[in-house]
Amino acid sequence: MPKRIKNIPKRIMFQLDGKEFASLIKREFTTELMTTETSIAVKDVFECRTKSLRDEDFDILNFSSSFQDDFRINNLQDTTHVSLHYQLAGKSDAYISGFGKILPMDKGRFNLLNCVDPVSTFVFPKQQVYEYLCVGLKPSFFRSVLQDCGPAYESMLEQSQRGQAFSLHHPNSTTDHLQRDTLNLLKHPPVADNLKTLYIRSKVKELILLTIGGRGAEDKKAVTNIDTDKLNAVKVYLTANYLAVFTLESVSKTFGLNEFKLKSGFRKLFGYTVFGYIHQLRMEHAYTLLCSGGFSIGEVASIIGYTSDSAFIRAYKLQFGYTPGKHQLFA
């Protein structure tokens, strides 16, 4: 039975038991990628909204709220997980079993928390805009990523294997522009529907690397000549086969690179992520097809992997600054 937090400062505020709030921020892992949305409100106290994106290895929770009064959630029980917490707006305090201290969170800050059978109490002061994005990771998935990161991360791997609660930063660290970009792409994936699952999974891994300092240890070293040759071969292959469906795992195995070297090295050499490069090529192909005048918007969307015309139109406008319909006006 998880230990409950004791000796938490008390003051007059609206309070809810964790069981009453659990349905709103319940952490789950699913066999297939799925999205759920929930909301709850108490008049004159708070209005909360959540959107969750779940997979077998992670649970991405985007939580937003307004608090018309100070609010507290008591003893919320959760499953063991690794929490990548990014505070987007507002502030709060957390008391999480296993950490023995208050864990404050302010706008623009982040941390990684290894939570072991956590029982948590959260305090939200009165505020109009509050939002965070939390990527909850299954511990086995987190450890599999660490194993690819080399000796520099063995200590963190051992802590996770021992089931030890820990936080990565003391105090919380400042979110950088690369993390913000990745979070935005997780919330709004700019790829075709048939690439979305693979894209989101790759972005979750990328976010883990950015969070633990994956640009350090191995990435600080220059890309070796052997790896450069392999990465150039990857680029040639993708350029010729960009309409095919890929996984990072399959590309890594084909070219003898681990996923960390593939992602960090490809971005370092070419200025694109692997999926970002595929997306760029597909958009350029869409542009060529539309300029030819022989294809409808729906046909082009299907050719480059979109099952939704509206999703393709949004992605096209994001890429070129105008909708694909502009081509038809001048056809």
Q: What was the pLDDT predicted at 22?
A: 74
145 and 23 both lie in a single domain: yes
Q: Are 205 and 145 in contact (CB under 8 A)?
A: yes
Q: Are 14 and 71 in contact (CB under 8 A)?
A: yes
Question: What region does 135 belong to: left with phi over 0, alpha with psi -120 to 50, or beta?
Answer: beta
Residue 190 within any structural domain of the chain: no
Q: Which residue has the tokens 């970009």?
A: 181
Last residue of a domain, one of 135, 153, 175: 175
Torsion of CA 50, 53, 56, 59, to 10 degrees: -40
Residue 227 within any structural domain of the chain: yes
Residue 199 within any structural domain of the chain: no
122 and 165 both lie in a single domain: yes
| Cα–Cα dist 248/266, whole Å | 12
Q: Are 63 and 50 in contact (CB under 8 A)?
A: yes
Q: Which two tokens stand for residue 272?
A: 């694109």
> Residue 274 belongs to a domain with what CATH number?
1.10.10.60
169 and 24 both lie in a single domain: yes
170 and 278 both lie in a single domain: no
Tens digits of residue pLDDT in 80-99:
999 999 999 999 998 888 88
Last residue of a domain, one of 157, 175, 193: 175
Residue 180 within any structural domain of the chain: no
Residue 6 within any structural domain of the chain: no
Q: What was the pLDDT predicted at 204?
A: 93
The domain of 68 spans 14-175
Which residues neighbour 7 within 8 Å (Cβ) at sequence distance 6 or greater?
A: none
Tens digits of residue pLDDT in 295-307:
899 999 999 999 8
In this prediction, the residues of the chain whose per-residue pLDDT falls under 70 are: 1-12, 23-24, 214-222, 327-331
Q: What was the pLDDT predicted at 3?
A: 41
Residue 76 within any structural domain of the chain: yes
> Residue 31 belongs to a domain with what CATH number?
2.60.120.10
Classify residue 5 by its DSSP letter. Answer: P
Q: What was the pLDDT predicted at 303?
A: 93
Last residue of a domain, one of 156, 175, 194: 175
Q: What was the pLDDT predicted at 263?
A: 85
Tell me how many domains the chain contains.
2
Q: What was the pLDDT predicted at 217?
A: 40
| Cα–Cα dist 58/79, whole Å | 12
Q: Are 166 and 159 in contact (CB under 8 A)?
A: yes
- Which residue(s) pair with 77 in the sheet? 119
| Cα–Cα dist 27/2, whole Å | 17
